[in-house]
Amino acid sequence: MSLAKIRIGTSGYSFEDWKGVFYPEDIPKGKMLDFYAKEFKTVEINSTYYRIPNQAVFYHLNRKTPPDFEFISKVHQEVTHNRENAEESMKALHAVLEPIKSAQKLHGFLAQFPWGFKYSVQNLDYLGKVKTLSEETPLFVEFRNRTWIRNEVYQFLRDHEIGYCNVDEPNFPSLVPPQDIATTEIGYMRFHGRNTQNWWGSSGGDRYDYRYSMEELSEWLGRIRSLSQKTRKTYLFFNNCHMGHAVVNARQMMELLFRRGMPAIDGGAEKGEDEILDSD
């Protein structure tokens, strides 16, 4: 059975604490994406969750990346958390993303819903609304609450062509467990880390301060293969961005996949195999 193309990236790229871990110590902030794009071929834009910038930002992102680079933009918190003015928020997001959209580099929206967003018929209908507002751009949804783990949800997502985001996160009873669900022809996985101590009530930096061991990454190889057999393309994003953990683990996952005959499509790391595996 053929396997999907696998693209590995991180949830953001512009971090000062990546200097010395991934970036050179003296790299200007404006050169970070150029550097990142030499090794990775995809990235999540998390900043659009907090605020929608002006269009010039995406003009420069397009200019700094090769033609085959792929962006996934997180939708604004107005859409996923406040849920009172989704129409205007999505309209504004579409407008500012036009430079990368017209360059065919915008490959999806990620709607990350909070733990408090629980399964209900009303909330299920809201997902359909967000899909409509996404227009022709693929939409992926991430749930934090286990109440969404049910077959009727997966069927709804399939019927509406909404992608499902599989996650690795702390093993709490109310959170979503590890899965390999595909509801469209594109698979999606996010790795948040397993920081049980700081998950609840902490800032993003503390919550995602976690570096996976090789054994923990290896636990996902079977699920990645399974998801890749169901899709034509699969994204793996590491959101444990604190202190460059995401880059280290993304590189390690690339090597693990390569050893299993599931090579990721990427720019090609300059590190050798031993150096990648020893960076745990």
How remote is the C-alpha of 213 from its chain's centroid? Answer: 20
Whether the CA torsion 27, 243, 14, 201 is positive or negative: it is negative
Alpha helix (H) residue ranges in 197-271: 204-207, 214-218, 221-230, 245-259
pLDDT at 207: 87
At CA 210, angle to CA 170 and CA 21, rounded to 5? 155
pLDDT at 205: 63
Structure tokens at 39: 């090794």
pLDDT at 276: 42
| DSSP 8-state assignment for residue 28 | -
| DSSP 8-state assignment for residue 80 | I
End-to-end CA distance of the chain: 32
Architecture of domain 5-277: Alpha-Beta Barrel (3.20)
For 109, phi then psi, to 5°, come to -110, 140
Structure tokens at 67: 């033609």
Q: What is the pLDDT along the chain (280 residues), one digit of tens a residue?
A: 678 899 999 999 999 999 999 999 999 999 999 999 999 999 999 999 999 999 999 999 999 999 999 999 999 999 999 999 999 999 999 999 999 999 999 999 999 999 999 999 999 999 999 999 999 999 999 999 999 999 999 999 999 999 999 999 999 999 999 999 999 999 999 999 999 998 987 666 688 999 999 999 999 999 999 999 999 999 999 999 999 999 999 999 999 999 999 878 765 444 444 444 444 4
From the list 28, 21, 62, the residue with the least C-alpha distance to 45 is 62
Check: pTM over 0.75? Answer yes or no: yes
pLDDT at 275: 41
